[in-house]
A and B are shown apart, each in its own frame.
Chain A
């Protein structure tokens, strides 16, 4: 005979357990991102800015960032034969700026290194740095994707509970 609480849990259509599990998962994901240096404090700022009036704020910001970042990375990936260091530097500066907006720490750090190579007019260094930036960016983006999916599922639960 199962204890009462378990029976209740199992029978409940929107089992709080799975909602809790989702939240747990999300929190662990975000935590790991902080620990691994993918995210920094700025991301917390974003979380704090989100409120009832703008429940999708963080998701929107993340999406804006990803769009912008990918635009820049595309530009940077073009014309690798001849490197216009000033132009490249300008792009990287932009990317540095927008990565700082979401707290994309590793990406930002990689941008800083990248700019160093630009300043030195070091083509190989730049090409290498570009790969590093991309590596960190796509890593981050994957995690962001998971994060937003979990978020959505949790919100679905919440809205069902409201109704």
Chain B
């Protein structure tokens, strides 16, 4: 069922995505801001992590996604990542010039949904909306699971605890949800959140007090027997509707289940830094783990979001032991969960909890609008073809994008800044890095200098091409290595060639030493049971800052290989996939010959 409201939003997304960029490097901050603006995102920049965190805390619904550098003076990027994941539950992308596998691993472990290597390219930023969308999809799935669980409860406990209206609604929702299970989240969203006219109403803000009433009511009724109507009645808050309570209840359940899953994971042996447990989060987990106990006795299986793994916190709580339902405060005093800091018996720290519930951006609109991602060709700026392809955005973006890359149009040539004219500057030719494109490069004839293609004047272009190629050879033996590694999937002897080039390169920079110690360090730093030896060597490539390394990044981040996306997305780090794509043992030989 397409409603006009949703189709409008579907076209707008991902334009207008609200991004917070955190980086202490002013140059990068400026560049990223510009790039993100060109992607039609709404950008806020911040050079201090502490500022960013307070900004996020103050205005919980202000951002859709956070991009942060790893190395910052005032706060470790990983720490910021944790905080944001815990408190605001936003997708966070990490960035660094350092591409060592151990660092990337750390990012993934801390919950980053992506890890970008600097220099970051536009094409990588263009697609960051996918993380927002993915998160929403996961959360919708979880809601569905909980609806199913609720269904089980209805059957188990009969309808006496739920009034007729609830039952009808519940079952209607569940059955219709089930029908659409695999396909249509949008319509499910419709069902759940009511008709669009309701969406336009102001959302209820779940303040500390309100949430406290809610939790009290839930505990009083008992989480297994709870229903929105009952809670509503108990809470006795004028102006609050059953729908408000219902949706809040879902979120609460999701939250609990996620923590349940995390605690299960942590007890099975995560080794996360203990400094994660700080005073800010203590009361969080006291509250939540105790309510976990209530819930876990009834629900056997929970779907957790892998993206938000917060490990190792509730290790002390004997969750499985508690069978009966006890009031929250009782548990706190009995078990003394996170012992050192004083356990607050009042709910002063509930703001954290409600922050966790503020499903930011989880307006139905986003589910709907996310239904139509940018499907058109994601041609990047770096294709080898002399004619640049513009990125296409659904709806409004198109003209804007064309204007932005206005150097393409030659009509206003004289008015353009000379950088954009680039009548002979190697704008396109030297950016070619793909396997495919490299072949094109060698075949490319000098483009005649007509007005239309004034940007690609003949002779200088050739010079540039030569220049860039020579660059590659001179400095970037890694580059051709990279190309070798990626392109020669059949494991041809190209990789052999690099060792000699390695030696040749010594005239420029004696960088051979760069490889071995680094990689040995990486060998040591990786946990032993991870069969990622080959990846770390890959990582070694990235760490070497040749011009080739950037080319490498291009290679791995192009849609052709899809390698980067599959590596750095935390949800599925699939070794099998990695081994399939590249012939690692040959790289091995090459590096450590």
Contact = CB atoms under 8 A, between A and B. Distances in A.
Interface in A11-33: 22-24, 26-28, 30-31
Nearest to B32: A101
B189 interface: no
B390 to A, nearest CB: 12
A57 to B, nearest CB: 6
A70 interface: no
A68 B50 CA distance: 21
Contacts of B426: 30-31, 34, 44
B424 A27 contact: yes
A42 B550 CA distance: 8
Interface string B469-480: 011001100000
A47 B550 contact: no
A64 B30 contact: yes
Main secondary structure of the interface of B (DSSP, over half): helix
Contacts of A65: 27
Q: Interface residues of B toward A: which range?
A: 35 or more
A41 B430 contact: yes
Contacts of B38: 49
A51 B404 contact: yes
Given A41-B431, A100-B545, A52 B406 contact: yes
Given A44-B431, A101-B28, A120-B517, 17 more contacts: A31-B425, A34-B468, A35-B463, A37-B547, A40-B471, A41-B433, A42-B550, A45-B121, A45-B122, A48-B407, A64-B30, A93-B97, A97-B25, A100-B118, A101-B119, A109-B475, A113-B511
A98 B25 contact: yes
A47 B419 contact: yes
Interface string A78-121: 00000000000010011011101111010011111100100110
B511 A50 contact: no
B381 interface: yes
A129 B448 CA distance: 45
A64 B511 contact: no
Interface in B402-435: 403-407, 414-427, 430-431, 433
Contact of B423 (A27, A35, A68, A100): A27
Interface of B: 24-28, 30-31, 34-35, 38, 69, 71, 97-98, 118-119, 121-122, 381, 403-407, 414-427, 430-431, 433, 460, 463-464, 467-468, 470-471, 474-475, 508-511, 513-514, 517, 544-547, 550-551
B417 A162 contact: no
A61 to B, nearest CB: 6
B460 A161 contact: no
Interface string A52-71: 11110110110011011000
A41 B407 contact: no
Nearest to A103: B119
Contacts of A158: 414-418
A158 B417 CA distance: 8
A76 interface: no
Contact of A54 (B34, B421, B514, B547): B34
Nearest to A65: B27
Most B CB within 10 A of own CB, among A37, A46, A67, A93: A37
Contact of B475 (A54, A98, A105): A105
Which among A94, A100, A113 has the greatest number of chain B C-beta atoms within 10 A? A100
Nearest to A48: B381
Contacts of A28: 424, 460
Q: Considering the complex of A and B, which 5 residue pairs feature the smallest CB-CB distances, nearest first?
A: A35-B467, A154-B418, A40-B547, A27-B424, A101-B27
Interface of A: 22-24, 26-28, 30-31, 34-35, 37, 40-42, 44-55, 57-58, 60-61, 64-65, 67-68, 90, 93-94, 96-98, 100-103, 105, 108-113, 116, 119-120, 150-151, 154-155, 158, 161-162
A40 B71 contact: no
Contact of B517 (A52, A102, A116): A116
Given A61-B31, A64-B27, A116-B514, A45 B119 contact: yes
Contacts of B35: 49
23 contacts: A30-B425, A31-B464, A34-B430, A44-B430, A45-B122, A50-B417, A54-B34, A64-B26, A94-B24, A96-B97, A97-B28, A97-B69, A97-B71, A100-B118, A101-B25, A101-B118, A101-B119, A105-B475, A109-B511, A154-B417, A158-B416, A158-B418, A161-B414
B470 A35 contact: yes
B513 A51 contact: no
A110 B546 CA distance: 10
Contacts of B545: 96, 100, 105, 108-109, 111-112
A48 B475 CA distance: 24
Contact of A47 (B71, B420, B424): B420
Contacts of A154: 417-418
B471 A34 contact: yes
Given A31-B460, A109-B509, A68 B424 contact: no
A30 B420 CA distance: 13
Contacts of B24: 94
Contact of B511 (A23, A46, A112): A112
B471 A155 contact: no
A46 B31 contact: yes
A47 B421 CA distance: 10
Contacts of A23: 418, 421, 423
The winner among B426, B427, B470, B510 for most chain A CB atoms within 10 A is B426
Nearest to A97: B97
Contacts of B69: 97
Contacts of B464: 31, 34-35
Nearest to A93: B71
Contact of A113 (B97, B98, B514, B517): B514
A36 B403 CA distance: 33
